[in-house]
Amino acid sequence: MAMRLIDSLATTGPLAELFSDASVLQAMLQFESTLARVEGRMGVIPRAAAQAIAAAARCANLDAASIAAEAAQSGTPAIAFVRALTEHVRSKDAQASGFVHWGATSQDLTDTALVLLLKKAQRVYDADLRRLERGLRRLSQQHRRTPMLGRTLLQAAPPVTFGLKAAGWFAAVHRGHERLTAAFAESLMLQFGGASGTLAALGKDGPRIAHALGVELALGCPEAPWHTQRDRLAGLICACGVLAGSLGKMARDITLLSQNEIAEVHEPAGAARGGSSTMPHKQNPVSSVLATAAALRIPGLVAGYLSAMAQEHERAAGGSQAEWPLVVGVVENTGLAIACMAEVADGMTIDAERMRANIAATRGIIFAERAAMLLGKKAGRDAAHTILQHASHRALAEKRGLSTVLAKMPEAAQHLKARELAELEDPERYLGAAEEFRRALLASARTGKAAPRQKTKMSTRKKKR
């Protein structure tokens, strides 16, 4: 399916395809055909009818446009869908058509279809997240000794290493990945409750059918239908929001570091990539820009979903109808941010020489803290702070290095040794525990607890029965 022009900066090709009309209809057909097979196997509906429904569902070519148009009249696409499927089955087997959607309700169909789509979305996420984590780990290792300016409130600060910065990005992404995995495991649950969530229409067979249906669809079978209890999906939506925020932070850093005045990192280049319609010289950090845009959109969508959680009794009057666009928006934008930053991590180039040049361009004033610590041991903290304030101003005004200025100030020179002054502006000598912290951040991905897996939950439930 071609991506809609209006969505071109808010999704990826695979996710646009995943949430296309054809894909949504296929998920709905999967629910109905699986339900029929399970009920036929259990003798709840005639086995021949179940086979006919499943066969018809495999070759159904339903009109998404007409179903969408009718949805506005009924408040759900399920009614028009079930009617269209029933007519299709009737054209093949009139008797079997009476058993389509047996014992189910509209929300069973729409919620389970959505969950089936989310299950596929997880696979898309996982592939890109693994690629992103590999790229960031590699960058951190390669540049563990590459000093660069620290920046606080966008102003120059004592040096860090690019390896530490990349490790910080990596660890936040990995934590987000773990949260997301746990949230998927919690939320990929069958919805099957019938009219009021009691499966009364199926009598004593209801719970057995629900369990078998969950197994067939490879979804968890919850303790009870969750019609208006949206906390599991809300956890997934919030996990997407947190991960997107971490990706937005990384993207923001990269856009700032790639400014011409700084030019310390560069996104991968390519034909027509990051170009301008009027300025041929430009190489815009387009992937980081798109990831930032996604991270800006997602919080509002997350808030919208949380607002929709206050649903009435056993069936929502507005809340559930609000959800599909919100969920799809969050999932697509999160997937876009992940894919964009994976591409950046794979091909980003680091200009270590420019990082050193930017450190040197500060004329050593970023080492004022280091000088103050040395001086404070002998002159006292407050006196040292005042001396370094004056020295920093002079260094900038006179375009001289901080160590040179300090050497000419008697109140400082009398307390600082020549060796201390000579080493003052060496960034490698003022990195503190940067390497220790970098290694710890990378190691946290190996020592963290694994998120629960969906199969474990299902197998446990099966044993209890």
**Residue 376 maps to which CATH number?**
1.10.40.30
Q: How far apart, in Å, are the Cα atoms of 126 and each of 7, 47, 132, 133?
A: 22, 39, 10, 10
| Residue 150 resides in a domain | no
- pLDDT for the residue numbered 270: 65
273 with 131, same domain: the answer is yes
Q: How many structural domains compose the chain?
A: 3
Domain assignment of residue 53, given as a range: 14-104
Q: What is the pLDDT of residue 450?
A: 41
The three-point CA angle 406-408-414 to 5° equals 75
Residues 233 and 340 in one domain: yes
pLDDT at 458: 38
Q: Is 315 a catalytic residue?
A: yes
- If asked whether residues 196 and 232 sit together in one domain, one would say yes
Whether 357 and 389 share a structural domain: no
Residue among 83, 244, 230 nearest 177 (CA): 244
pLDDT for 185 equals 97
Q: Map the chain to HEC letters.
A: CCCCHHHCCCCCHHHHHHCCHHHHHHHHHHHHHHHHHHHHHCCCCCHHHHHHHHHHHHCCCCCHHHHHHHHHHHCCHHHHHHHHHHHHHHHHCCCHHHHCCCCCCHHHHHHHHHHHHHHHHHHHHHHHHHHHHHHHHHHHHHCCCCEEEEEECCEEEEEEEHHHHHHHHHHHHHHHHHHHHHHHHHHCECCCCCCCCCCHHHHHHHHHHHHHHHHHCCCECCCCCCCCCCHHHHHHHHHHHHHHHHHHHHHHHHHHHCCCCCCCEECCCCCCCCCCCCCCCCCCCHHHHHHHHHHHHHHHHHHHHHHCCCCCCCCCCCHHHHHHHHHHHHHHHHHHHHHHHHHHHHHCEECHHHHHHHHHCCCCHHHHHHHHHHHHHHHCHHHHHHHHHHHHHHHHHHCCCHHHHHHCCHHHHCCCCHHHHHHCCCHHHHCCCHHHHHHHHHHHHHHCCCCCCHHHHHHHHHHHC
| 397 and 442 housed in the same domain | no
* 2 within domain boundaries: no
Strand partners, 265: 350
Whether 405 and 379 map to the same domain: the answer is: yes
Q: What is the pLDDT of residue 1?
A: 55
**Residue 36, domain member (yes or no):** yes
Tens of each residue's pLDDT in the chain, 465 residues: 568 888 889 999 999 999 999 999 999 999 999 999 999 999 999 999 999 999 999 999 999 999 999 999 999 999 999 999 999 999 999 999 999 999 999 999 999 999 999 999 999 999 999 999 999 999 999 999 999 999 999 999 999 999 999 999 999 999 999 999 999 999 999 999 999 999 999 999 999 999 999 999 999 999 999 999 999 999 999 999 999 999 999 999 999 999 999 999 999 976 556 555 565 566 789 999 999 999 999 999 999 999 999 999 999 999 999 999 999 999 999 999 999 999 999 999 999 999 999 999 999 999 999 999 999 998 999 999 999 999 999 999 999 999 999 999 999 999 999 999 999 999 999 999 999 999 999 999 876 544 444 443 433 444 443
For residue 347, the Cα-to-chain-centroid distance in whole angstroms is 20
CATH of the domain at 254: 1.20.200.10
Residues 324 and 461 in one domain: yes
Is the same domain home to 45 and 126? no
Nearest to 420 by CA among 370, 376, 380: 370
Domain-located, residue 7: no
The answer to whether residues 331 and 406 belong to one domain is: no
Question: Pick the catalytic residue: 90, 151, 208, 315?
Answer: 315
Q: Same domain for 116 and 203?
A: yes
Q: Is 276 a catalytic residue?
A: yes
381-419: b (≥16 Cβ within 10 Å) or e: eebbeebbeebbebbeeeebbbbbbbbeeeebeebbeee
Asked whether the beta carbons of 60 and 88 are under 8 A apart, the reply is yes
Query: Which residue from 350, 343, 299, 417 is spatially nearest to 147, judged by alpha carbons?
Result: 350
Residue of 91, 276, 307, 459 marked active site: 276
Maximum separation of any 2 CA atoms in the chain, in Å: 103
Look at residue 148 and tell me if it is in a domain. Answer: no
CB under 8 Å to 370, separation ≥6 — which residues?
A: 158, 424, 430
Is residue 9 assigned to a domain? Answer: no
- pLDDT for res 274: 59
Q: Which of 82, 104, 126 is the last residue of a domain?
A: 104
218 found inside a domain: yes
pLDDT of 278 reads 61
Please report, for the domain that includes residue 20, its CATH number. 1.10.275.10
Quick one: pLDDT at residue 269? 79
Do 375 and 283 share a domain, yes or no? no
For residue 270, how many other CB atoms are within 10 A of its CB? 12
Question: Do residues 280 and 312 both lie within one domain?
Answer: yes
User: Cα separation of 159 and 283, whole Å?
Assistant: 27
135 falls within a domain: yes
